[in-house]
Amino acid sequence: MTDENIRILLVDDDEDDYILTRDYFTDLGESRFELEWASTYEAGLAAIKNKQHHVYLLDYRLGERDGLELLQRAVALGISAPIILLTSQGDRDLDLQVMEMGASDYLNKSTLTSELLERSIRYALERVHTEEDLRESAAIPAHNVPKIIFSIYVKTSDFFAICCRK
């Protein structure tokens, strides 16, 4: 990643979870993370439409709506930034479902740490950069490049290789 600040939008209707997430970034001792909070589905959708963030953290439960609906809307809007779903429940089927829907990761809040959150964000951003490099090198339109779940990426001045699993 570059030295550029990383703008993160957290969409979560629970202020305590916002404070906890903010504290995770504070615990890292790095000032490169800029966390913005949207406390409702509607405020989150409005912020997502602006496409001003590098990463989106969506809570699974958002009042009468949920993070899955917001994930679907974000994907339909063509958001290319990583979207990470946060939940209070560990559910493998839900995990697989959100990844299939386009999420970069699925994290259980009960086991979340500042290091795990930072690593998830770092890996998700690297996958996006890999996808962008793949599109640029192959001149493939963005809508034809699948989301990459796992990748190995090697690039030197005279060699370029990508091995990925969709």
Q: Say how many C-beta atoms besides its own lie within 10 A of residue 11's C-beta.
A: 27
Please name the residue ranges forming H helices in 28-158: 41-49, 67-76, 92-101, 114-138
Is 39 domain-assigned? yes
Its pTM surpasses 0.75: yes
Q: Per the structure, how many domains does the chain have? A: 1
**CB of 33 within 8 A of CB of 53?**
no
Give the range of the structural domain holding residue 21, as residue numbers without chain letter.
6-124
Q: For residues 22 and 34, give the distance between their C-alpha atoms in angstroms, rounded to a whole number.
A: 9
How confident is the model over 58-73, as a mean pLDDT?
93
Is 149 domain-assigned? no
Is 165 domain-assigned? no
Most confident of the ranges 93-102, 144-153, 157-166: 93-102
pLDDT digit string (tens) for 102-144? Answer: 999 999 999 999 999 999 999 999 988 887 777 777 665 655 5
How do strand 83-87 and strand 105-108 relate by DSSP bridges? parallel
In this prediction, residue 98 carries a pLDDT of 87
Q: What would you report as the CA-atom Rg of the chain, rounded to the nearest whole angstrom? A: 16
In this prediction, residue 116 carries a pLDDT of 96
Write the CA distances from 64 to 41, 68, 70, 109, 145, integer angstroms. 9, 12, 12, 20, 33
Is 87 domain-assigned? yes
For the domain that residue 47 is a member of, what is the CATH number?
3.40.50.2300
Is 158 domain-assigned? no
Q: For residues 152 and 138, give the distance between their C-alpha atoms in angstroms, rounded to a whole number.
A: 17
- State the residue for tokens 């001149």: 139
How confident is the model over 44-59, as a mean pLDDT?
96
In this prediction, residue 137 carries a pLDDT of 73
Q: For residues 47 and 70, give the distance between their C-alpha atoms in angstroms, rounded to a whole number.
A: 11
Is 107 domain-assigned? yes
Higher pLDDT, 97 or 21: 21
- State the residue for tokens 């990459």: 148
Is 16 domain-assigned? yes
- Residue (of 112, 73, 85) closest to 12 by Cα position: 85
Percent of the chain clearing pLDDT 90 (strictly above): 59
Is 133 domain-assigned? no
